[in-house]
Structure 1
Amino acid sequence: MSTIVAGHFQLQDEIDHARRELVRAGFPDDRICAFFLNQPGQHDQTAIGGDRLQSPGAKETPQGVLEGAAAGGAVGVAVGAATAFVTGPAGPIVGGLVGAHVGSLFSLSKMKEAGEKEEGSNANRYEPRKSGMLIAVAADQPDQEARAIEVLRGLGSHHIERAQGTIEGGDWTDFDPLSLPVLVQ
């Protein structure tokens, strides 16, 4: 496993130029990998397409809806029972159903907004990778890492990131498009 330095570019011509410059800087061509990175959610990682079977922000939804429905149902039954002299025996039943419905809807209002970070989580310290052209080079020595960063910076790379992985025969064999990039400062 090596330290991998990767740079993001917009155009194929920029990637071709970056590859030539990395080879000129002493990196073997078979330790350089270039590819187009799809948008988040379009990496075809599951059998039905997409990246995940469940949205990251939706993991607490079933529990929240059940809690809201239970609380709303209990309040509805109590209100229905208190008004049973007017509504008859159906009052507590209807009150419980209406309360459960309102309670479950209220729990949806507590869901996080798109892009909002999970509470107490540092898993979202970095932004997900943006789509575009990516060129990566394996840097086995600290001086190679600094040289790769210098070359990519000099070529105007939009983002430069550092990762651990394996590039063999020009292919980043263990690249995970869902991993969060560690950007180089």
Structure 2
Amino acid sequence: MSIIIAGHFQTQDEADAASSALAEAGFTGERVSTFYLSQAGQHDMTPIGGDNIVSPGAKETPAGVIKGAATGGALGAVVGAATIPVTGPLGPIVGGLVGAHVGSLFSFTKMKEAGEGEEGGRAPVEQRKAGMLVAVAFDEAGDESRAVDVMRRLGAVQIERARGNIVEGDWADFDASVPPEIVH
């Protein structure tokens, strides 16, 4: 495995300029990989698409919906029972159904905001930015600062360090779900 320095750029033109600058800096073309990285959650890594089978942070949703529906259904049935003189025997049934629906919808107001951590959960991990990714692999430790300087000079939005293999211009073992080690 080699050390890989990868820079994130917004446009194809910026990525092409970075690839050319890396070649001018002495990095061989087969050790440089350029590709588009889609935003987190859209890497099509599961059979149903996306990055995860279950959305992170949504593990409490089923219990919350059930609790809201049960509470709302009970309250609706009580209100419906009070209206029996007007609505007849269907009052408690309709009241319970409407209450269950409203209660389940109310449970959604208790959901976490995007990026909000869970109690006892891990801190949110740094994610890669969407856009063009230009990566260069090398084996000499001294080449790292040279690669970072090229990426920084050309305006990389984010620069990361990884270990892996770039073979004939393809980062063969790239895994978008692994949190990046940001160097700049």
TM-score normalised over the length of structure 1: 0.76
Counterpart position of 1:171:
170
Letter in 1 for 2:115: E
Tell me which moved more, 83-92 or 155-164: 83-92
Counterpart position of 2:64:
64
Percent identity of paired positions between Structure 1 and Structure 2:
57
SS at match of 1:163: strand
Superposition deviation, residue 26 in structure 1 = 3.8
What do the CA deviations read for 1:81-137 (whole angstroms, capped 9, x no partner)?
5x2764554343233222211110101122234x3334244453324422x221001
Superposition deviation, residue 55 in structure 1 = 4.3
Alignment of structure 1 residues 45-124 onto 2, 5 Å: 45=45, 51=51, 55-56=55-56, 58-81=58-81, 83=82, 86=85, 88-113=88-113, 115-120=114-119, 121-122=121-122, 124=124
Superposed CA RMSD: 3.0
What is the total number of aligned residue pairs between the two structures? 182
Counterpart position of 1:7:
7
Counterpart position of 2:125:
125
What do the CA deviations read for 1:48-102 (whole angstroms, capped 9, x no partner)?
6555555445444333212211122233334445x27645543432332222111
What do the CA deviations read for 1:12-49 (whole angstroms, capped 9, x no partner)?
34333322332343433222111122344554445565
- TM-aligned CA distance change 1:98 to 1:10, over 3 Å: closer
- TM-aligned CA distance change 1:2 to 1:75, over 3 Å: farther
SS at match of 1:6: strand
2:84–2:92 CA contact under 8 A, matched in 1 = no
Counterpart position of 1:135:
134
2:8–2:129 CA contact under 8 A, matched in 1 = no
2:39–2:128 CA contact under 8 A, matched in 1 = no
What do the CA deviations read for 1:138-159 (whole angstroms, capped 9, x no partner)?
2434333232212211222121
Unpaired segments of 5 or more residues in structure 2? none
Tell me which moved more, 119-128 or 133-142: 119-128
Hey, what's the Cα distance between the residues in 2 that align with 1:109 and 1:136?
42
Unpaired segments of 5 or more residues in structure 1? none
Counterpart position of 1:28:
28
2:115–2:124 CA contact under 8 A, matched in 1 = no
- TM-aligned CA distance change 1:134 to 1:90, over 3 Å: same
Superposition deviation, residue 178 in structure 1 = 4.2
